[in-house]
Amino acid sequence: MTEKNPIDLSLNEIEEIEKLTLRWVFQAVINFGMEAHEIFLKSPDSVKDIAEDITRELLDRLSGFNVQQRIYGTVDYKKARYVILPEQIVRQALFVDSKAEKENRSATIQMSQTSMWIKQQRSGDNIIEKGFLPEISEYGEKNYLTTTCLVHFMYNDDSDGVHHLHEVTIAAIPNGRLQDRYNPTAKDGIWLAGRNAPTLGEDFRVRVSFIRLKSKAAWRVQKLSYDESKMECIGSWQS
């Protein structure tokens, strides 16, 4: 089996690798089942810390083809790995970040968590900002395809302040090489304004709209729900 340099991947090959990766993350969440719901109910930690712990544990349980190479990034889970395709293998730098919020329409992305340009309109102005991740990461003199995914936990609190997990949204953020497919212009993209105040010197942030991303490619946003009455984690892959 041939190892292909990520630099030589076509755009369609990058799409297929990201789709395969999201399937892996999706399956990891399915396998974890109602355990995630139970942790939200019983853990005394903050919801942010709970989400981070669950994401690391569920991904560690579903073993993959890991590469013995440390990678760096500001996300909850990062791993150097091989993606095994029918005719070739590709090295991948996988970055997965977790979010915990009481809504599920969007999720905040830091610039250190994407390799895309952010092209959007804010208050009538065109904004163009470059994500800090490279499209192709280099570690140990080897190239790795940069892939970013999100695991977004939606919950609410009861009158006693207990956290009830209702839904998980899993999303694959496109690699920067797919820019023209997903965010060619400030008027055509997948982003919403982030919760940052430039006048206060806060770092630029952006929110990925799950609705807009799904409208570009339905498979890039997957959802699972938690039925407390039946104690079931429910969901099926949507192509």
Q: Is residue 235 part of a domain?
A: no
Residue 122 pLDDT: 86
- State both tokens at 117: 């340009």
| Dist CA 167 CA 182 (whole Å) | 25
Is residue 237 included in any domain, yes or no?
no
Which domain, by its residues, includes 109? 2-230
Is the predicted pLDDT of residue 141 greater than 60, yes or no?
yes
Q: What is the pLDDT of residue 197?
A: 54
The pLDDT of 32-40, averaged and rounded, is 97
What's the pLDDT score for residue 202?
A: 72
Strand ranges across the sheet with 191-193: 106-110, 205-209, 191-193
Q: 113-133: per-residue pLDDT in tens?
A: 999 999 999 888 899 999 999
Residue-level pLDDT at 204: 85
How much is the pLDDT for 213?
Answer: 98
Q: Which residues contact 74 (CB under 8 A, 6 or more apart)?
A: 110, 112, 113
Query: Do the domain assignments include residue 23?
Result: yes
CATH number at residue 87: 3.40.600.40
Question: Looking at the domain assignment, is residue 239 inside a domain?
Answer: no
- Residue 36 is assigned to a structural domain of this protein: yes
Q: How many domains does the chain have?
A: 1
Question: Is the pLDDT confidence value at 102 over 60?
Answer: yes
pLDDT digits (tens, 9 = 90+) for 63-88: 889 999 999 999 999 999 999 999 99
Residue 238 in any domain: the answer is no
Report whether pLDDT(199) > 80.
Answer: no
Average pLDDT rounded to a whole number, residues 17-44: 97
DSSP 214: H
Please check whether residue 49 lies inside any domain of the structure.
yes
pLDDT band at residue 21 using 50, 70 and 90 as cut-offs: very high
Which band of pLDDT confidence, cut at 50, 70 and 90, is reported for residue 139? very high
What is the Cα–Cα distance from 116 to 18, expressed in whole angstroms? 14
Residue 195 in domain: yes
- Residue 140's pLDDT is 94
Residue 200 has pLDDT above 60, yes or no: no
**For residue 50, is pLDDT > 60?**
yes
